Amino acid sequence: MTNLTFEGYLILLPVIFLAGFVDAIAGGGGLLSVPAYLAAGLPAHFVLGNNKFSSVFGTLLSTIRYSRRKMPDYRIALPGAFFALIGSHLGTRTVLLIDPNFLNYVLIILIPGITIFTFIKKNVGIIKRDPELSKLQVLFIASAAGVVIGFYDGFFGPGTGAFLIFGYTTVLGCDYVGANANAKIVNLASNIAATVTFLIHGKVILAIGIPAALCGIAGNWLGSRMVIRNGTKIIRPFFLLVLTLLFIRIIYNLISK
């Protein structure tokens, strides 16, 4: 099925709004939006295509709002975004050819490790710290993170923002606010690359994608407003919530086969 009934829109669009809200705060909006598209009855590649299309506009709004507040560190965000464009395009081209389900087995080990580390290291991400890295090392790490996470985003997707936030706080010493702002720029680049690829291959249904994009924009506006007002104290709990939701989804994926 590649169209929706009126009732289908009533179910889908509020979830896309909530996904945009969560995504603006800690990434991981796809954990809500992808199941919503699936529940609406769209085929898998149309789910991914419409999800990218609807999320790219909300991510753009959050990116603009955070940039106006001078939250991102462009030494990290810009090289990450450039290489995320490449990684996301490659990931999207790959997912059109093969089944990405094997990543479930990788994530079921990775996610609990990240969650436990975040609980134990309570100070990570609360304040910005100096990681004692040279400018060249920061450039290399930011670029590598961009291409790897960009590929993951184009290939699989859910939790991309959370993985970027974790990397930026633990390796590069960002606080949660800065890490989230950096992640938005990188995620925007990967979303653009994936969206263009899906559009070229005819996997976006504009009659669904456009109203969903409007709801995603509204959710991102509200979520980014809360981040600007509340800072790290709201991002950390949402970050842990996203990891928990991602773990639940992976378990469900494995046991429902």
Confidence at 124, pLDDT banded by 50, 70, 90: low
Instruction: Compare 177 and 153 and report the one with higher pLDDT.
Output: 177
Could you give the CA distance from residue 129 to residue 241 in angstroms, rounded to a whole number? Answer: 24
| 150-175 per-position pLDDT tens digit | 898 878 777 788 889 988 998 898 98
Contact 219, 56 (CB under 8 A): no
Under 8 Å CB-to-CB from 170, ≥6 apart: which residues? 117, 121, 124
Higher pLDDT, 66 or 109: 66
pLDDT surpassing 60 at residue 34: yes
Taking residues 21-46, report their average pLDDT. 86
- What is the mean pLDDT of the segment spanning 184-209? 90
Amino acid at 201: H
CA dist 76 and 205 (Å) reads 34
What is the C-alpha to C-alpha distance for residues 27 and 38, in angstroms, rounded to an integer?
A: 20
pLDDT value, residue 24: 92
One-letter amino acid of 242: V
User: Considering the entire predicted model, what is its pTM?
Assistant: 0.85
CB-CB contact of 150 with 190 (8 Å): yes
> Looking at residue 100, what is its pLDDT?
66
Cβ atoms of 160 and 23 within 8 Å: the answer is no
pLDDT, residue 221, reads: 96
pLDDT of residue 204: 93
Percent of the chain with pLDDT over 70: 95
| pLDDT of 49 over the 80 cut | yes
Pick from 10-19, 199-208, 245-254: least confident: 245-254
pLDDT digits (tens, 9 = 90+) for 61-100: 999 999 999 999 999 999 999 999 999 888 888 877 877 6
Q: Which residues of 101-131 are buried (b: 16+ CB within 10 A; e: fewer)?
A: eebbeebeebbeebbeebeeeeebbbebeee
Judge whether 52 and 34 are in contact, CB under 8 Å.
no
Residue 116, pLDDT score: 81
Sign of CA dihedral 24, 78, 52, 144: negative
pLDDT average, residue stretch 240-254: 83
pLDDT exceeds cutoff 90 at 251: no
Pair 145, 80: CB distance under 8 Å:
yes
- Length of the chain, please? 257
| Domain residue ranges of the chain, discontinuous segments joined by + | 6-255
